[in-house]
Structure 1
Amino acid sequence: MENRDRLLEVKDLHVSFDTYAGEVKAVRGVDFHVDKGETLAIVGESGCGKSVTAQSIMKLIPMPPGRIKKGSIIFDGKDLVKFTDKQMESVRGREISMIFQDPMTSLNPTMKIGKQIMEGLIKHQNMTKKEAKERAIEMIKLVGIPNPAKRVEQYPHEFSGGMRQRAMIAIALACNPKLLIADEPTTALDVTIQAQILDLMKELQNRLNTSIIMITHDLGVVANIAHRIVVMYAGKIIESGTSDDIFFNPQHPYTWGLLQSVPRLDAANKEKLVPILGQPPDLFKPPVGCPFAARCDYAMPVCKEYYPEKTQISEKHHVHCWLQHEMAPKVKNPIVEGRR
């Protein structure tokens, strides 16, 4: 039965890059969905496949060397994998928008901010220049930039870092897209501005009912904004659940490691942060077993030989880990234990 609330469904997505040294298997069988008006966070360290997954949805990965080997990306009932470049042009900006990591490299330094907002409106909404300019002023005001009538006439270098990120959000939301993909939107910003940008995205989502995919390496960033979280490692989703599942009852040792490396204000005893030692595996030749086995304190011989099956913890919470097997030794969950 079709789920009417489902906006995006990614099924068994495999993305590779062909290089002179061989095939890099960047995304290896990813499955997730996003419902209307929902925020999904994709979390993991650099190189785990988060951004490649997001760019595959927008079909922004260069082909070649990149290619979607297998899988489907069903957006609003249509499979984007089968779309031509021409068809994707009508989707990008109008139905799906993206906020990139560094606004200074994403904004055109030679164009006024107002003109950059107006571009999409003229192309997708068939507005006149006058209508588009009025809407651009409206959008600049909506994202909290003061003096919008003056700001539309300014260039990116005249904006601070936080204001540039707000301008990027204004461009992304100008055509009221159904889905907004935010790729590490707060990485280059200081903590105060980070909080303001996240609050702004939350407020705009409530107002416009936009679905959001938030990509980040920092679980602390998504604590207040995400409804559900998927944890990626070495091109695979290793754990997925609601925010409460991931923060209060995580089941994968990698998720434990991510949480233990985030500072907590509520901790009674100010313990040192625990880093995850070692390096992610080489995706030229991914391991056959659990990709985290080489860095895991709880790894067993089976972890290196076979990839763990999916274990359903609750309705929305699942994990791929051999510790869930009935024959596995009982291990104390450091996150649950640490809160007692």
Structure 2
Amino acid sequence: MSQFDPYRLPNLRRRGRASLTNKPGRFEEHSREAVDDGWDNPDDLPPLRTEVRIETPRTVISRNTSPDIPFDRSINPYRGCEHGCIYCFARPTHAYLNMSPGLDFETKLIARPEAPELLEKELSSKRYKPQTIAIGTNTDPYQPIEKQHEIMRRILEVLNDFNHPVGIVTKGMLIERDADILGEMGRKGLAKVGISVTTLDPKLARLMEPRVPSPARRLTTIRKLTDAGCPVRVMVAPIIPALTDHELEAILDAAVAAGAEAASWVMLRLPREVSGLFRDWLSEHFPDRALRIMGHVRAMHGGQDYSAEWGKRMRGEGAYANIIARRFRVASKRLGLDREVSPLRTDLFAIPPRSGDQLSLF
């Protein structure tokens, strides 16, 4: 009897998914070891389907004090992400749910349908002080299940009612559905959006980001949001050494043509379980350059796959990181993307009147 990896699924079962395996997270107490006895044929099983569970959190606004993140609060309408980007730095968060950062992260999702009502309650507190709320900094609020749940749409309606500033990061074209609200908020200085474009190559994008709209479709989303009145920043993120780095200038050129008015970039990050998942993916799809890619990554992080040191984790350090940073600066200046973006307004924030409230005469 031959040994085989009990966590690796056959191609037919993981069709449309990026991760090759479903290895348990770091908090699991037990592991499995399987032996192929010839009786079960995994190819006979159907492809993995997306499962959605409902969660009712006690609060919806999360706080952070990280010195290299430009916001102190965020909202996550969903846990896990059906987009399935193999490089997603949020994958390790699924381990806290006793689920795998691999295929579980892409297929076993959690929705928070009561988030809008909780948000309204938190914003109505007399102790609340407004600052920009970031959405999409962990998992994508416009992943495919948003079409059915519409949690993000209702969150935006609450924020608009309160005149509360919001910054959104997404790869999903579903955000176009909310262009009416985002356009209104954008014109008032209350909203901005970042659209992530990793590559312009549709075949590569399909391998890395199997359920994300194509690069061309994301550029169309930039145009539709800017036409609606919401400012958009293109995010060249992540830049993957020896795989997508040569596209940096081309992505910025295409984004400007689509209407983007600002730009940013982030280097590939491989925290915790993401490192092994990404290396498995490289071995499957790009075995000829896997060593070169990981060599660059480790050179930027002191010989490790990843370093979580503040101020360096987003960009890395060393010669290669410096070259990418310089290329970005030169291209951004040439295209006019290096301008200072005005901060979103907080002075318009106000708790909207409720039915039965005593209205002011002045």
> What TM-score results when the alignment is normalised by the length of structure 2?
0.31
Higher relative contact order (CA 8 A, sep 6+): 1
Report which of the two has the higher share of strand: 1
> What TM-score results when the alignment is normalised by the length of structure 1?
0.32
